[in-house]
Amino acid sequence: MRKSGKLLSMMVAGAMVLSMAGCSGSNNETTAAPEQTTAQAAAGDSAQTKEGAASEGKTYTVGICQLVQHDALDAATKGFMDTLKEELGDGVVFDEQNAQGDSNTCSTIINNFVSGDVDLILANATPALQAAQAGTNEIPILGTSVTEYGVALGIDNFNGTVGGNISGTSDLAPLDEQAAMLHELFPDAKKVGLLYCSAEANSQYQVDTVKTALEGLGYTCEYYSFSDSNDLSTVATKAVSESEVIYIPTDNTAASATEIIDNICRPAKIPVIAGEEGMCAGCGVATLSISYYDLGVGTGRMAAKILTGEADISQMPIEYAPQFTKKYNKTICDDLGIEIPEGYVAIE
């Protein structure tokens, strides 16, 4: 009995040692597991942050409000869409709307975008931007083909950043250089007619600036403003009868009616200096212009940064075209007997 009792005690003691060893091993495993999980979670969070919305399969809806259909605005919209598709792939859906030149229709389109809770609005041309500004102060708005944001949005002492929910790209050309180009081509002319739509605030800004530059070069300038396409023919006819050269800024109403202008100016042998290439192709002899497609590309890159959270729109300054090119319309120049000096590129 004493030997059996001693054996029993040894067995109990051994079991206790094994039990303690088991508990010790279990504690080690429990301690190690949370440390490993925390490290994995940190790595996962970092990867998710880096990949952004693309890793989540998020789809963005972008509303596009374009004032009117003409070459310049069409090119800007195409550049914008091509770039966003390249940046976000299938992660972006477009709702593209055209206001057919009607500012009130711009407002209707913008209100529909707001009701539909789109993720971003592209406002192509000044009236579209003005409608977007009035329609929402929450949805990000990018303008494009807008000449001067301070004028368009009524901002005094504009410093280059709109703030709030608006930014974008400007198609402002160096207006003094456009005036200098007119002087290069027509140094003997005296009277220049400034033809533009009075309903477009940025057109008024451009002709005011060009008028000052041209008067400094010795020209006499006269304003010829039309309210819409209905009175364009009458006003253009008057301008042609009283001018030796016509200057037209980047004006959307004029750009959508170049055939009317050409049918009045060319038979009268009055040359037109145009503010942009698309207009020049329709009725002008020469222009100092930007690439509106490239302008749209720049706007698309801005949009991608906003949608993915890489940039804060309230801190994004207005961006400008990087370069300008002297171009000429060979057909109209030949018809008018105008010789173009070196340094100009023919519009294709």
* Cα gap 117→120, rounded to integer Å: 9
Give percent of the chain with pLDDT exceeding 70: 84
* Cα gap 232→31, rounded to integer Å: 83
Residue 262 has pLDDT above 50, yes or no: yes
Residue 54 has pLDDT above 90, yes or no: no
Question: What burial class does residue 208 get, using C-beta atoms within 10 Å of its C-beta: 0-12 exposed, 13-18 middle, 19+ buried?
Answer: middle
Q: Do domains 57-171+291-317 and 175-289+325-346 have the same CATH topology?
A: yes
Q: Which residue in 61, 53, 168 sits closest to 115, CA to CA?
A: 61
**Quick check: 76 and 296 in contact, CB under 8 A?**
yes
Distance of CA 301 to the CA centre of its chain: 9
Per DSSP, 174 falls in state: -
Sign, CA dihedral 141-146-149-154, equals: negative
Q: Which residue in 252, 244, 312 sits closest to 272, CA to CA?
A: 244
Structure confidence at residue 11 (pLDDT): 40
Task: Taking residues 97-105, report their average pLDDT.
Answer: 96
CA separation, residue 233 to residues 60, 201, 229, 251, 293 (Å): 44, 21, 8, 15, 30
Domain locations along the chain: 57-171+291-317, 175-289+325-346
Task: Taking residues 96-111, report their average pLDDT.
Answer: 97
Strand segments (E) across 2-130:
60-66, 92-98, 120-124
Give the CATH architecture of domain 175-289+325-346: 3-Layer(aba) Sandwich (3.40)
Task: Taking residues 125-132, report their average pLDDT.
Answer: 97
Token reading at 185: 């081509």
Residue pLDDT, tens place only, 155-191: 999 999 999 999 999 999 999 999 999 999 999 999 9
Strand segments (E) across the chain:
60-66, 92-98, 120-124, 141-146, 166-170, 191-197, 220-226, 245-248, 272-274, 286-289, 319-320, 325-328, 345-346
* Cα gap 222→196, rounded to integer Å: 11
* Cα gap 61→70, rounded to integer Å: 24
The pLDDT confidence band at residue 68, using thresholds 50, 70 and 90, is: very high
Residue pLDDT, tens place only, 220-253: 999 999 998 899 999 999 999 999 999 999 999 9
* Cα gap 104→192, rounded to integer Å: 33
Residue 22 has pLDDT above 60, yes or no: no
Residue 209 has pLDDT above 90, yes or no: yes
Structure confidence at residue 56 (pLDDT): 60
* CATH number for domain 57-171+291-317, candidates 3.30.420.10, 3.30.70.260, 3.40.1390.10, 3.40.50.2300: 3.40.50.2300
Task: Taking residues 48-52, report their average pLDDT.
Answer: 37
* Cα gap 289→292, rounded to integer Å: 9
The pLDDT confidence band at residue 39, using thresholds 50, 70 and 90, is: very low
Helices 201-216 and 175-185: crossing angle in degrees, nearest 10, is 50
Structure confidence at residue 34 (pLDDT): 36
φ/ψ of 88, rounded to 5, equals -115, -5
Task: Please give the model's pTM, rounded to 2 decimal places.
Answer: 0.79
φ/ψ of 217, rounded to 5, equals -95, 5
* Cα gap 329→60, rounded to integer Å: 41
In the block, which residue shows the tokens 């004006």?
251
